[in-house]
Amino acid sequence: MLDTVNLPLIEKYSKIIKLSGVTSNPSIIKREGKIDFFNHLRKIRKIIGQTAKLHVQVTGRSTADMITDAHRILAEIDNDVYIKVPTNEAGLAAIKQLKNEGIHITATAIYSELQGFLAVAAGADYLAPYYNRMLNMNIDAAYVIRALNHEISQERSATKILAASFHNCQQVNEAIESGADAVTIGPDILKTALTNPAINAAIKDFTDDWESIYGKDSIIT
């Protein structure tokens, strides 16, 4: 999934990768300035389509405000949106209530196994462990993902791990190898992975060799 709400980049990468969703939070929204929030998110939905997963975070701090936010988000966008709820006391209570209403939930801001276990028990559809932020706190992020994965299998739970907060390609690899079902990554990481100078050098060698045989700008016929 793409961890951005930048419309041109979502448009661009939706044509390049098999995009299974877009994730946002208030800090990601802030990067775009004071956007017309719901209108902007409806535009993202239009680009990614109804089957891709759009994750939108509540901003309320109390359980009641989180639930009100969730209802508003669904009413303004659509009922397929995954509501991101921070996994604290107020959030867990909100997750339980929203799951009783059959709403899709992503339990976010996960830094520990216990937080994740509680979100699984509350019925969250996705857990979003914060990979880079855990590493910054000297927490073994790969271990946390493995432990969450183990707990989910043991409970035969349908909860999936959507690892987030990546600051480089290596972190993404580690999360996937540790058992994350999905990752959400910023366009900067995708760009780094796909525009590595070694890739361009290899392509240039292929082009030069081909053209040395068949001539400049020749194609397979």
Contact residues toward ligand E4P (CB under 6 A) are 3, 23, 25, 27, 108, 128, 130, 132-133, 164-165, 184
- Give the active site residue among 84, 96, 160, 216: 84
Shortest reach from residue 82's CB to ligand E4P, in Å? 11
Shortest reach from residue 78's CB to ligand E4P, in Å? 19
**84 part of the active site:** yes
At residue 128, the 3 state secondary structure works out as strand
Q: Which is closer to ligand E4P, CB of 25 or CB of 115? A: 25
Q: How many CA within 13 A on the CB side of residue 164?
A: 26
Q: Which is closer to ligand E4P, CB of 3 or CB of 174? A: 3
Q: Which is closer to ligand E4P, CB of 26 or CB of 215? A: 26
Give the CA distances from residue 76 to residues 80, 100, 116, 151, 201, in Å, rounded to whole numbers and listed in that order. Answer: 11, 21, 29, 35, 47
Q: With contact defined as beta carbons under 8 Å apart, do 204 and 212 qualify?
A: no
Shortest reach from residue 199's CB to ligand E4P, in Å? 25
As to burial, measured by CB atoms within 10 angstroms (0-12 exposed, 13-18 middle, 19+ buried), residue 28 is: middle
Q: Which is closer to ligand E4P, CB of 30 or CB of 72? A: 30
Shortest reach from residue 66's CB to ligand E4P, in Å? 15
Q: With contact defined as beta carbons under 8 Å apart, do 35 and 29 qualify?
A: yes
Tell me the catalytic residues: 84
